[in-house]
Structure 1
Amino acid sequence: MERILVVDDDPNIVKFVTLNLTEAGYRVAAANDGRQALARLKEAPCSLAVVDVMMPYMGGLELTKAIREEYDIPVIILTAKSHIDDKAEGFKAGTDDYLVKPFEPQELIFRIEALLRRYKAEGETDSIRIGNVSIYPDNYTVEIEDKTYMLPLKEFELLQLLAEHPGQVFSREQLIEQIWGIFYEGDERTVDVHIKRLRTRFTKLTEDFTIKTVRGVGYFLEPCV
């Protein structure tokens, strides 16, 4: 049975989410702020974290960054704001998904199920090779000249999709649907943020491929070997 970490300083939200997740068959570890959440993670492993943005002592974005440094689990951000800046900051911090309050419990459960499926490696998967770059979908790592790099899930999935179809142009809409799912309600600029992060990361590491922009359309990966 999967264990879900729920972090919110509003006890009513914690109770509401805990009740619905328990009914859906999950175990729940509850926390009221970021510091308490990190303590819960040390007590027992969790498969996923649902984190509120605005909390005392340690906010949701800071907590997300801390989780990213120590644990390989997906994070869903809960926010009362609907501005793109708030969502973008969440993705920059490393979150995998977000929900704007108020939300339907079934939608949260759908998103949890989708992320857990993506994080589970279903057997060994062949690596994707581009020159000296090897991409391993089974453990979400990238190997370049005997050095291994771990990427945030959304960055990895985006790189994997582009690398599996070199030269094929994907629109932002297609990338949103493939990587973030049909229930994603955010702005397509999220794709731009993740592409920029991939470019920044790999420009320093390899010259074996580049991610190019087709203005007004989308992006594609071009091997340089």
Structure 2
Amino acid sequence: MNVLGRPSILIIEDDEHINNIIVDVLQKENFACTQAFSGSEGKMNVTHHVYELIILDLMLPGLSGEDFMYELRTKLQCDTPVIVLSAKEKLDNKLNLFNLGANDYVTKPFEVKELVARVNVHLKRHSKTEPPVEYRHKDLLLDTTTMNVSVHQAPLNLTRQEYKIIEVLVKNPNRVFTKQDLYELAWEDMYIGEDKTITVHISNIRNKIKVHTDESYIDTVWGIGFRLST
């Protein structure tokens, strides 16, 4: 999640001292950081939020780094760049992580300046990846070039925020978004508890879709937020 123009990075490292050092350095470089201290906590964060890069330790409680990588790329279908931190130096370990979908591998102990440099490289590289122009879900088609959304080939007259909400959901079909996620992504502003704003916009989107089909396109996940319907 890009928070007020600051790239958002998830740090999954159970060593509190190392985790805090990474956060301190990255925040000074104007990155927005989220800390997780177990693989399970990291998975929960990725399920509910969008990050532009993940820094991952391997020796984690709950869910190992290797298992986290596997679930990230398969079950969650998330292509967020991952930099692995590990004291494991053997080539086989590195190759295994790359096969699981890791983008980089930094051996502990590491220099923080090198880590920052690698973070910047992967953020720039990932931002240059051109996404598909069109996204389709069931009979809903979203065109990112024209910013048009249609259902059964009938165009929806959406406001800017309604379009952004649909865009976020369609581009991330396997994720649940909290109201805070959707507000910060659609309004590009800090969330201050505007629960009714998101609820009203979701209701408006559903009503506009309902004109053309009875099929549901946005599911409510009670107690958490919203996701694209399955």
Q: Which residue does 1:5 correspond to in 2? A: 10
Deviation at 1:9, TM superposition (A): 1.1
Q: Does 1:113 align with 2:120?
A: yes
Q: Which residue does 1:53 correspond to in 2? A: 58
Question: Which structure has the bigger radius of gyration?
Answer: 2
Q: Which residue does 1:153 correspond to in 2? A: none
Deviation at 1:43, TM superposition (A): 3.3
State the distance in 2 between where 1:8 and 1:114 align. 21
Q: Which residue does 2:67 correspond to in 1? A: 62
State the distance in 2 between where 1:118 and 1:110 align. 12
Secondary structure at the residue paired with 2:61?
coil
State the distance in 2 between where 1:19 and 1:138 align. 31
**Deviation digits for residues 156-205 of structure 1, max 9, x if unmatched?**
xxxxxxxxxxxxxxxxxxxxxxxxxxxxxxxxxxxxxxxxxxxxxxxxxx
Identity within the alignment, %: 29
Contact 1:51–1:78, Cα closer than 8 Å, also in 2? yes
State the distance in 1 between where 2:45 and 2:30 align. 20
Q: Does 1:99 align with 2:106?
A: yes
Compute the RMSD of aligned alpha carbons. 1.7
Secondary structure at the residue paired with 1:73?
coil
Q: Which residue does 2:95 correspond to in 1? A: 88
Higher relative contact order (CA 8 A, sep 6+): 2
Deviation at 1:45, TM superposition (A): 1.3
Deviation at 1:44, TM superposition (A): 2.4
**Aligned positions, number:** 126
Give the 4+ runs in structure 1 shifted more than 3 A: none
Amino acid at match of 1:6: I
State the distance in 2 between where 1:76 and 1:65 align. 14
The normalised TM-score by structure 1 is: 0.53
Gaps of 5+ in 2: 1-5, 133-230
Gaps of 5+ in 1: 122-136, 141-225
Q: Which residue does 1:176 correspond to in 2? A: none
Q: Does 1:78 align with 2:85?
A: yes
Secondary structure at the residue paired with 1:63?
helix
Which residue, 109, 124, 131 being the options, matches 1:139? 131
**Deviation digits for residues 117-152 of structure 1, max 9, x if unmatched?**
11113xxxxxxxxxxxxxxx6238xxxxxxxxxxxx
The normalised TM-score by structure 2 is: 0.52
Contact 1:62–1:93, Cα closer than 8 Å, also in 2? no
